Structure formats: structure tokens, C-alpha cells
Amino acid sequence: MRHVKSARVAACFMTLCAVLLGSVASASASDSSIRNLIKAYNPKILVAEGHVVSAIGEYKKTRNPAPVVKALDNSISVFRSLKSKISQQSAKSSRVQEGKRKLMKGLQSVIGAYEKLKVAFGERAGSPQAAKETAMKAEAAVKRGRKQLSEGIQLLK
């Protein structure tokens, strides 16, 4: 996996955090429980994403994938926890229900992308071409997830 690909994936993840932070701050949905939950998770997401970016930077120097895998596992845990808590929230209006559905789908896409990225770092030594392909799939999944998250947050406004 080239440095450029891992940097682009990391940049996508940081953009995801910015989408979550920026859009929810001004939201005014009738069902504020989902908004409040996302606001509460923003610091956790930022810390987890910061660790991923740092670990990728460390990987570029040492070529040791273990810290990256650990950081990705932590981020996956945070996103799964958020997804679980959002799924438990009620959504009364159809607009909020659709927003919740899109948030859930977006979070699942991001979780899947992190899983693919973990595989890419694991495949790096054995098959650089397979790692590159897996990283490209992860990047595409992040883009899909960002789009879904953005649409979901817009519906919560």
C-alpha cells in the first residue's frame, strides 16, 4: 500500500469527523436524542481518529502495522458503540427515521472500511497489490459512509 493511499484514507476519516462535528452543532431536530448522542461521541471519535492518523504516520517510518491495527480496532469499537446507541433511540417523525437510517448505514460503511483497512495493513507484507486493492475498497466505503452520514445529519436539522 502506497503512502499516498494511506494518507488519503486517513484524510477521509478526518473529514468524516469534521462532518459529524460541524453539522450536528447547529441541528435542531424534533427528536434531539440522536443529535445529543452524536455530540457526546464527537470527542471520542476525534481521539480515536487522531490515533489512527498518528499510527499511520508511525507506520510510514517503522513499517510496523501493529499500532495501526490497534488504532483501527479502537476506532471500530467507538463507531460500533455509537451505532448501537443510535439504534436504541426512538425516531418519531419520518424525517428523523430516515436520518437515523442513513446514520446507521453510514456508520456501518465506515466500520466496514476500517475492517478493510486492517486487512490491507495485514496483507501489505505478503501481497502489496492485494493491499492496494483492499485500501482502494476501504476508501470507496469511507466515501459512501461520509455521504450517508452527511445526508442523515441533514435530515436531523
- This prediction has a pTM of 0.77
Q: For the residues of 3-67, what is the DSSP string, one character each?
A: HHHHHHHHHHHHHHHHHHHHHHHT---S-HHHHHHHHHHHHHHHHHHHHHHHHHHHHHHH---HH
Question: For the chain, what percentages of helix, strand and coil (3-state, to nearest 5) are there?
Answer: 85, 0, 15
CB atoms within 10 A of CB 2: 11
Tell me if 153 sits within 8 A of 103, measured CB to CB.
Answer: yes
For the chain, what is the domain count? Answer: 1
Residues whose CB is less than 8 angstroms from the CB of residue 10 and which lie 6 or more positions away in sequence, other chains included: 52, 53, 56
Residue 69 sits in a domain whose CATH number is 1.20.120
Per-residue pLDDT at 24: 44
Per-residue pLDDT at 27: 38
Per-residue pLDDT at 23: 45
Q: Containing domain of residue 99, as a range?
A: 3-155
Per-residue pLDDT at 81: 96
Q: HSE on the CB side for 34, CA within 13 Å?
A: 34
Give the residue ranges of the chain where pLDDT is below 50: 1, 4, 21-30
Give dist(CA 24, CA 35) in Å, integer: 6
Give dist(CA 11, CA 23) in Å, integer: 18
